[in-house]
Structures are given as structure tokens and as C-alpha cells.
Structure 1
Amino acid sequence: MRNRFDFLGGVIFEGCSVSNISIYEDAAVLQLADGRILSSRLIIDAMGNFSPVVRQIRRGRKPDGVCLVVGSCCRGFKENSTSDVIFSSASVKKVGNSEAQYFWEAFPAGSGPLERTTYMFTYLYPEPESPLLEELLEDYWELMPKYQGVSFDDLEVLRVIYGIFPTYCDSPLPAAFDRVLQFGDASGIQSPVSFGGFGSLTRHLGRLTIGIHEAIENNFLDAESLSLLNPYMPNLSASWLFQRAMSGKKQSDVSPTFINELLFANFQSMEKLGDPVLRPFLQDVIQFGPLVKTLGLVMLNKPLIIPSIFKKVGLPVLLDWSGHFVMLGFYTFLSSFFDPVIRPWLSSFPAKTKYEWKRKLEAWKYGAGLDYSLNYLSESKKEE
């Protein structure tokens, strides 16, 4: 990939930092810390969650939620053939001056047959008394051997992993400046229940690549045009209910086992409904049909859990989520029925109108989660 980038004329400035970005009518100018000046038609801000450009756009606003992650990659796992996408074996517990619900993820590392990566993560309301990463790591070293059924005496720690992933309700982040586009985690395009947006970026990379190319080619580099590349997506906004419901918070009127009970009810229902419902959810893709089926089955099988959901997340959050839920259904309708009508006419539109409509069609499709398909899975099973 690096060789291809170099072959196409790309230049990499390693060990450099940007001290200033100035926007002009015909260019964006970057001033490096060493005094050098770079000029560009478009700046892609891929500096992640803590991008200084994003910090300026959000004006230092506190995140609406945060995911703390700690973990390690160790060598010495004799049983190393299974994976956990999400695992929980305990209820909400006190961590420091706060409450946290721990979740686990584990999978074989690609670097060796005995090497395994394990994560412990939790969702939190960002508050001054929230747990520290150090406190999570202390719990991780104590709990991981029990979770994996191993002893640290038999393991060699290869690397330790930790991170903080802030999330905001108003994501993805529209472009705030001409000629500057947030990309990847900086844009907030990842699901609030995932830590890191690599999977999300992989899903959106195709449409973003084409969209950026068309924006540059046609000089649609104003903030309004660039914002169409990071549009409102109701399936992403609908995920906020799950993040809220899975966040640890001390509440006297909610059982400490509520989160596990809710997860069990949801996954039990999705398992009954099969792969078309379960697999998209496991890959952070929320779709209207599967969501309706899951919620309906949960309400039928576990009706007594509904009052606890109201207590846990609060009425304002549920009302806000209801709006996104309706929009999820609306986007599904638009992508399924209106997209096939308008798409054949795109080639006859003027360049600007064509660009705008292509971005709208993409927003409907991706905002409804309809970019996800199980066809590849069916083909794999046929080959087996």
C-alpha cells in the first residue's frame, strides 16, 4: 500500500505536526511546526477522537458518553479456537467512586496459534467520578484469568492495550469549514457501542472514496457540500439507546442485574429470529426490520423489563430515540422504494444536483443499514 501511494505521487511527512490551518477561497494552507508550508485543495482530518480540529468544532463540549477499554495480547493459551463478541458474567460493580458494568471480548490473535487478545470494556456517563483506566486495568489483571480459565503464570504478556473512546449524540459530524472534512473516528461515524471505528470505516470507505473524488473533481469543497459526505444516519443515532442502557450508573430503583437481563433477553430473541437479525447487530449495523422484530419479541417474552428500561435511560432519551426509530423506518422506505425510481435519472442531472442526489441516496441506504448484506454468508455456506 505504501509503495502504491509513493508510485502515485504521494508524499509522507513523518514526525511532523501541524501548527495552523488557514482556509482561503482557492486552497487550504497548513503550516507545519518546523515552519514548512503545505497547500491543498482539501484537508482530510483523520486525527481520531481527539482531533484538535474536532475539539475546536465542538468547542470543548463534554462527550455524551464514553467507552473505556483495557486489554492485552498474551501468548500461552492452549485452548484458542473460540471468540467472544460480547461477554458478561457479573452485574454492575463499584469501581472507585463510580459504578461500572464490565463486558469482555476475546479472540485468537493472528500472530501465533497460542496468542490471544482479550478486552475488558465498559460504557459510562462522563462524570468527574468516573473510573480511571488504571482502576480498570487493576480489575482486568484480577478478572481476566477467571474469564479465560487460565493462570498468568502460564502466560507471556506481549502487549497491553487501553483506550478512551468518547461519543457524541450529534454524530456524524458535519463539515464546519470549507475544504476540511472529518474522516473515520474524527467524524464520529462509528457506532456508540463500538470502541474504535475501523469496522465502520471499512463499511463506508467505498462511498467516501467516491464522494471525495467527486467533490474534488467538481470543486464542491464548501462546508455544505462536504457535509453531505457525513450525513445524519438514523441507525447510528438509534444505537444511542443501547449505549445508554448498557452504561453503568448507580440507580437505587434499577436492579444491578438489569443490564445482563436486558442483554440476555435481546440476544435470546435475536438468536430465535436467526442470522438476518443477529449478524447485522453483532457487526454494529442497525436495521429497521430486525430491530422491530427483536423489540416485539422482547416485549412479548419479557414484558416486565420494559419499566426498568424507562427507569434506566429516562423518558427524554426514549422520546429522542423514538424519533430516530421513525426516521430509520422512513430511510428504509426511501432507500427501498424511492431510490430505484430516482437513480436511473442521475446521469441526466447537472453536476451539482447529481452530486447532491448521490449523497442523499447513500445517506438513505447507509442510514438504514441496507449496505449490509448476508449474501456473502450464503455463498460461503454453499461452497462448504
Structure 2
Amino acid sequence: MTDLMSPLLLDQEPAAIDGPMRMVEPDGTLRVDATDARVEPAQLRGFYRDMVLARAFDREAYNLARQGELGLWLSCRGQEAAQVGSIRAVRPDDHVFPSYREHAAAHCRGIGPAEQLTQWRGTAHGGWDPADYRFHITSLVLSTQLLHATGYALGVAADRRTHAGLDEIVLCYFGDGAASQGDANEALNWSAVTNAPIVFFCQNNQWAISTPASLQSRRPLHVRAAGFGLTTTLVDGNDVLAVHTATAAAAARVRAGGPPELIEAITYRMDGHSTSDDPTRYRDTAEVEAWRARDPITRVRLLLDEMDWADGDFHRALEKEATQLAESTRAACIELEAPPLEASFRNTLVEETLQLRAERERFTTWRESFA
């Protein structure tokens, strides 16, 4: 937990940020105050594997977008620790609401390359059934998922009142830019008023497209959220162990009936906002390099090597697995085919009306006339 009156100077260099909870330093060493925490080597290797594979998938998808195979891609490079640490801290039956950059979290939930790429290739409006993975489809409208998640959490609360032993919670991801939207503030306020069983997880990656966090708000988000009545935590979002510890603690408190919580994870978006964005127009190289030195994957690799918790066989096997994932991602993307336009008429409403059927048949006749 953080001192809610401590300012977070997001417009300063990363080295000046000394407030967030941290367990592993950027050089891979455990902090003195974290040595009492129980760090399981197998768990840390699992986190590392999740992050490496997520980045391999993300890089291949980024390349596919650059080659015209995807309409757009929003990279999560640099934010893997924030996503892996948090998603692995909740239960598989807890429902998750992502925004549009949670590829690592989706990977941890078992959502495959084809399912993740479908929407970005334009072959469907979604890519998977949320009920199958307890993971909602991508939300492209900024901050809308916070209200969706709050409403879902209120339904969970109603179920918990009538079903003894039910303790599901909701995890909702969003970015610092989304925090400036009215929907986000409504969701935070309403969740607090209703004591909804939800953990909001903000990946503060420093930029809302081209607007820096320092120009979005006079006070950090975790301070603002506390004003609504949420319990808040500030964490180093590039430290997977700290993120996991903070999220597990928040989830446990909410699961036990405590008020909703918000975690603000300080991280960095290494690529542009999307493949249609040129970040060199609004941020300088020195800033990017300063954050590159805090790479979340490198941090875990250094710790694994320092503690001798991973050998050469482990790293070689993981490298091979990452290469295979990239190859399967490309193959899955190329195989995705858009459904016939006639499907739009059938899927506009739950049941196709006579008017839509007539329009579909006229379209089919028109299209076939060219044959």
C-alpha cells in the first residue's frame, strides 16, 4: 500500500520514481525488504516463460500488421510483467475485462493466436467466446470496459448473496489515458458506492497516444481512486513479482468482502500507440532508452541467472518454443478468411428478419451476376 499523499512525478526520469512497490531491481537483484517474501523458482520461471512467449507473439503480430496482413496492431511490448503478474494472481474462474492491449494476459488465459488476431484481421467482430476463457472480448472504445466490468461485478455480488460459498471477483484492465474518460470515473465511483467485487488494474504506460501522463491529471490515478473510496496500491509495473504480490493481496481482500480496489502499475509502452502511430514525433530517444534499461523480461532473466534458477537447457527450450509460436502465429493469421458478406445480414439481429433476408438474397443475386 502507498502513502496517498506522496506525489508521483511521472514527468521525471524513471530513476526519480521511488514510490511504487518493488521487489526486484532493474538489475535483477532482490530488494532487501523483499528477501523475506517467498519467491518460488518454478513460479518465477513460469512468469518468465509467459512474458517471453507473449513478446514473441506480439512481435510477430506487429510484423504482420506492418506487412499488411492485419489492419492494425497495438503492441504490449514493455508491459508484459504488468499483465502476466496480475492475470496469474487471480483465479481461472474470475472474469477479466481487457481493453485492447492485453495480449499477454489473453495468452495466459489460453487464448490462441488465431483467436487474438481475428478482430485485427477484420474477419469477425470478436475472436472468442468470453464464457470459455472467463475473458471478455477486446474493448476498442476507450474505457467502456470499466462500466461493463462494474455491471458484471454487481451481478456477481447479487449471485454471492444467494449462493453460499461463491466468491468470484472481476479484474478490469485499462490505461492511463482511459482514466480521463467519464466512463472510468463513473465506474470507479459506482463500484465504490455499491461495494462491487472488482479489482481495477491500470497500466500507466506514460502516454495516452501522444499526451504524457503529466498532462492528463494533476494527481496520480491511485490518489484520485482513493477519493472515490477504493483501496489503492501503487506498484512497479515492470516488476512481475511485485505486480503478482500486489494483485494477489488485492484480490484476496476483495474476495473476502472488502471494498473494490485499484492497482496503478507504473510501466512503459515501448512501441507506438498502434502501428498507425509514430512515437518519434512526441517522445525523445533518451526517454525510451531510459525505460529500455528497465525491461521487465531482462529483469527476470537477470534474477534467474543470479540465483541459478534456470539453466541453459531451459533457455534454449524456451527460445525454440518462442520461435515456434511466432511461426504458428503467422500461419494462423494467413489462414484466417473473412466470412461472406451475406453473413452480415444473418448476424445483424439474433434472428434474421424477412426484410434482412430479402436484402441478403438481392445482394447474393447481384454478386453472382458478375460470375
Smaller-chain TM-score bracket: under 0.3
Higher relative contact order (Cα pairs below 8 Å, separated by 6+ residues): 2
Task: State which structure, 1 or 2, has the greater radius of gyration over its C-alpha atoms.
Answer: 1
Q: TM-score, normalised by structure 2?
A: 0.24
Q: TM-score, normalised by structure 1?
A: 0.24
Write 1 or 2 for the structure with the bigger share of strand. Answer: 1
